[in-house]
């Protein structure tokens, strides 16, 4: 499939982490992974190194790699930064967008609307990605775009949890609407504010979720 083994390994391990097959704290033994995938340790090491660079796993010298679930407060921090980056993208998009950008953005927005009406959370999830990608693109700052995509990807598993929440899809779409209007009107500050809130809400929802789980666990175990 992939051109080289390293990328295939990286994607596979990444998926295994996101899907929970490789739980937090799990030790990633190079030899075992190599055997498991039927390759040698060399590409495994390189794949692990790449995952370490993203921050998905922690590589401790001479002590192997472990899966790190970022502490909840860290995920919250990441949402904070994401909110600011998205706000920046929105501000620039409002000022710099071309007519082609408008078309892409509107099309993505309408696609979200159709998925919402169909009640298809999975479809909405992907359409939402495209919607945000359109904003990054319209910001006409490629470096910003890359940073946004990387962080968006990193936060993927946490966002995915949220669309299941009651009314989240409706609210999300309403927020998108405000964002689109601001960008098309060239109102950078409004676009930034709308996007910042749109993302910040997710961070807060995540925090709520963590608190809820902690409470449940507390109730069960002590």
8 A C-beta contact, residue 149 and residue 133? yes
For residues 138 and 183, give the distance between their C-alpha atoms in angstroms, rounded to a whole number.
Answer: 9
State the nearest-atom distance from the C-beta of 48 to DNA, in Å: 8
Would you mind telling me the total number of residues written for the chain in this entry? Answer: 222
Q: Which of 30, 111, 141, 149 binds its own copies (CB under 8 A)?
A: 141
Q: Which 64-93 positions form the footprint of its own copies (CB under 8 A)?
A: 74, 77-78, 80-81, 84-85, 88
| Residues near DNA, by CB under 7 A | 4-6, 27-31, 34, 38-43, 45-46, 59, 61-65
CB-CB contact of 56 with 147 (8 Å): no
Tokens of 17: 């982490």
Is the CB of residue 185 less than 8 Å from the CB of residue 94?
yes
Distance CA 18, CA 207 (A): 19
Report the residue number, 59 or 102, with the smaller CB distance to its own copies. 59
143: contact with its own copies by CB under 8 A: yes
Report how far residue 149's alpha carbon sits from residue 179's, in angstroms, rounded to the nearest whole number: 18
Cβ proximity to its own copies, 4 vs 212, nearer residue: 4
Of the two residues 59 and 102, which places its CB atom closer to DNA in the complex? 59
The Cα 169–Cα 183 span in angstroms is 21
Q: How far is the CB of 150 from its own copies (least distance, A)?
A: 10
Pick what 31 binds: DNA, its own copies, none; C-beta below 5 to 8 Å, kind-dependent.
DNA
As measured in angstroms, the least distance from the Cβ of 43 to DNA is: 5
DSSP 23-52: -TT-EE-HHHHHHHHTS-HHHHHHHHHHHH
Beta bridge partners of 60: 64
Give the shortest CB-148-to-its own copies separation in angstroms: 10
Closest approach of DNA to the CB of residue 63, in Å: 4
Contact positions vs its own copies (CB under 8 A): 3-4, 42, 45-46, 49-50, 53, 61, 74, 77-78, 80-81, 84-85, 88, 141-144, 147
């Amino acid at each position: 499939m992939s051109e080289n083994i390293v990328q295939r390994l990286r994607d596979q391990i990444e998926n295994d982490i996101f899907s929970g097959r490789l739980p937090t704290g799990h030790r990633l033994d190079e030899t075992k992974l190599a055997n498991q995938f039927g390759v040698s340790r060399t590409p495994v090491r390189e794949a692990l190194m790449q995952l370490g660079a993203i921050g998905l796993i922690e590589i401790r010298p001479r002590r192997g790699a472990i899966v790190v679930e970022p502490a909840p407060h860290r995920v919250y921090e990441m949402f904070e930064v994401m909110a600011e980056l998205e706000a920046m993208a929105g501000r620039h998009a409002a000022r710099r967008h071309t007519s082609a950008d408008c078309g892409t953005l509107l099309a993505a927005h309408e696609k979200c609307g159709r998925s919402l009406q169909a009640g298809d959370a999975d479809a909405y999830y992907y359409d939402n990605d495209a919607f945000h990608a359109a904003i990054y693109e319209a910001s006409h700052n490629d470096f910003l775009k890359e940073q946004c995509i990387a962080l968006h990807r990193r936060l993927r598993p946490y966002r995915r949890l949220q669309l299941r929440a009651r009314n989240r899809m409706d609210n999300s779409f309403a927020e998108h609407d405000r964002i689109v209007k601001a960008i098309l009107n060239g109102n950078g500050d409004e676009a930034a504010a709308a996007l910042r809130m749109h993302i910040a809400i997710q961070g807060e929802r995540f925090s709520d979720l963590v608190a809820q789980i902690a409470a449940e666990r507390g109730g069960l175990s002590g």
